[in-house]
A = this chain, B = another copy of it.
Amino acid sequence: MVGGGSGAFIGAVHRNAALMDGEISFTAGALSSTKEKSLTSGRDLGLPDGRNYASWEEMLEAESGLPPEERVDFVSVVTPNHFHFPVAHAFAEAGFNVVCDKPMVLDSAQASKLVETVERTGVVFCVTYNYTGYPMVKQARHMVQAGELGEIRKVIIEYSQGWLATRLEDSGNKQAGWRTDPDKSGIAGAVGDIGSHAENLVSTVTGLEIEAICADLTTFVPGRRLDDDANLLIHYEGGARGVMITSQISTGEENGLSLRVYGTQGGLQWRQEEPNHLIHTPIGEPEKILRRGNAYLCEEAQRATRLPSGHPEAFIEAFANVYLGFASAVRSRLDGQLRDDLPMHFPTVHDGARGVHFIEKTVESACGEKKWLDAGRPGDLNRR
């Protein structure tokens, strides 16, 4: 692991998720950007001295020097966004498999370079768009691919949060701090942090490619430097239409990610905050509620489950499923045979590149003011 030292929220989530199924163990790390903090964090987390590194560069060098069977099988990059590229790229270049947090890198140039490296070296590369790990998301993906909804006409994706409705970054909240700072977060706020999850969820479930974007980005909280609210109209290739709603200022919303897909033969609805069921509305029939853990689900949705139906699973388990899929691909590579039929879906370097491209285009679209038609007022209308 690179990054994720003491105090970093997402590092703990990664470790928790990775270790959950006994497939992965935590053996080495460079857990912070400063030497002291790295070593202390690693010691606190039980890393053996020999593999508790002071920096990712030291870790790369040392692990590369070990015999292949003793090296780490992969590296998880869980640093702030601006470190993703240098670390992930260097390890991939050295032949290490990589798990990288999202957004994958800061711009398309970095993305292209990383894609090229991964394809050339053949390393397994995973971007933790963790919401794709939910069993009912896998079921949704399966149903769309199997044609159960007919031709997809419309997609509504929403990711509404309210935690940044006030100027939380001034209160010393670390999460708020770096996410609202363009130097660490990149060119986008809400769009980068949660919009990219939204984009990937649509892509994963429907396979639709974005053709054109019309975006409205707003910064509501005075003094903030990045957008905290973003709404998009989207045209997908093939004619489907999309609406994306994201916000960090929608008071009362917590982590309101939801997806709705409407096809000619039926619709699907899923909400992250109650992730154990999926609503299916076949045309002309009663609505159906599909629940995690049942035998009527597709095979991958069943395999992505640890507990019987009614015993709810949630965020961490879904995150762990992303690691499971990645780990299986890593084993395949170690066995010398990269299987075509991956046993469980996980987001790849291509998903990461698509996400970076989406962020750039969204910000670019938002700058074009020609899209707005001045509505005027009915001539004689004076509001009561």
Residues in A lying within 8 Å of B, measured CB to CB: 9, 12-13, 16, 19-20, 22, 45-46, 108, 111-112, 115-116, 149, 153-154, 156, 161-163, 165-166, 207, 209-216, 218, 220, 229, 231, 233, 235, 241, 243, 245, 247, 249-256, 260, 262-267, 269, 272-276, 279-291, 293-296, 306-317, 348, 350, 353-354, 356-358, 361, 364-365, 368, 370-384
Contact = CB atoms under 8 A, between A and B. Distances in A.
Nearest to A277: B287
Given A214-B216, A273-B312, A373-B364, A287 B252 contact: yes
Nearest to A116: B380
A16 B320 CA distance: 12
Given A235-B372, A384-B350, A112 B378 contact: yes
Contact of A380 (B45, B112, B371): B112
Given A165-B264, A252-B267, 4 more contacts: A211-B374, A214-B373, A250-B260, A371-B372
A40 B145 CA distance: 41
A216 B371 CA distance: 11
15 contacts: A16-B306, A19-B19, A22-B46, A154-B229, A156-B245, A161-B310, A216-B233, A235-B372, A243-B245, A255-B308, A314-B317, A350-B382, A357-B376, A364-B373, A371-B372
A160 to B, nearest CB: 8
A216 B365 CA distance: 15
Q: 9 tightest A-B contacts by CB?
A: A252-B281, A255-B310, A371-B371, A254-B310, A312-B314, A314-B314, A252-B267, A365-B373, A287-B289
A217 to B, nearest CB: 10
Contacts of A284: 295-296
A317 B20 CA distance: 12
State how many copies of this chain the complex holds.
4
Given A365-B373, A378-B108, A384-B350, A296 B285 contact: yes
Most buried by B among A252, A354, A370: A252
A345 to B, nearest CB: 10
A315 B354 CA distance: 34
A307 B312 contact: no
Given A22-B45, A252-B266, A286-B289, A373 B361 contact: yes
Contacts of A365: 373
A354 B115 CA distance: 52
A115 B286 contact: no
Contacts of A273: 276, 310, 312
A375 B275 CA distance: 31
Given A241-B216, A314-B313, A249 B357 contact: no
Nearest to A383: B209
A280 B286 contact: yes
B256 A310 contact: yes
Contact of A154 (B45, B111, B249): B249
Nearest to A16: B20
A283 B112 CA distance: 42
B291 A286 contact: yes
A382 to B, nearest CB: 8
Given A216-B214, A262-B247, A283 B252 contact: yes
A308 to B, nearest CB: 7
Contacts of A307: 13, 315-316
Nearest to A348: B384
